Structure 1
């Protein structure tokens, strides 16, 4: 295994992490901005108000995008196993 192979694996791993975690992070960000806007408009400054909606949103998004996340991780695993099989 040379440097190019290692960099290729690391690049694919980072891309897999970004695409697999993207939907959950986007949902948390959107809900967080919406709750912050509501808090700013109503002047309710309850710190714990943001946690429950974020957790619910993340769980719903992960439930709906579970097959996509699984396929991304499976594709990465298949690439790694193919490289191990061929000896890099």
Structure 2
């Protein structure tokens, strides 16, 4: 296994992490930004106002994106196991 193969494995792993966690992180960031804007406009500084909607949005996003996350992780796992079986890793 050469440097190119190791680079490909690392690149695939990083892309899988970004694909699996990207939608959840984007939704959390968007909800947090909207709540921060709402708090700045209304001067309401309630801690549960930031926590509860963000957690609910994350759970809904994970539930919706679960097939995408599963397929991305399964693809990476299959590639890794194929490399192990072939003796390349």
TM range (shorter): over 0.9
CA-CA distance at 1:46 after TM superposition: 2.4
- Separation in structure 2 between the aligned mates of residue 54 and residue 9 of structure 1, nearest angstrom: 33
Structure-2 residue corresponding to 1:77: 77
Count of residue pairs brought into register by the alignment: 88
Q: What secondary structure sits across from 1:65 in the alignment?
A: helix
Runs of 4+ with deviation above 3 angstroms: none
CA-CA distance at 1:47 after TM superposition: 3.4
Q: What secondary structure sits across from 1:44 in the alignment?
A: coil
For residues 22-60 of structure 1, what are the alpha-carbon distances to aligned partners after superposition, in whole Å with 9 as ceiling and x for unaligned? 110011011001101110110112234211111100000
Structure-2 residue corresponding to 1:19: 19
- Separation in structure 1 between the aligned mates of residue 44 and residue 14 of structure 2, nearest angstrom: 39
- Separation in structure 1 between the aligned mates of residue 73 and residue 20 of structure 2, nearest angstrom: 7
* TM-score, L = length of structure 1: 0.93
Instruction: Could you tell me which runs of 5 or more consecutive residues in structure 2 were left unpaired when the two chains were aligned.
Output: none
- Separation in structure 2 between the aligned mates of residue 55 and residue 45 of structure 1, nearest angstrom: 18
Q: What secondary structure sits across from 1:59 in the alignment?
A: helix
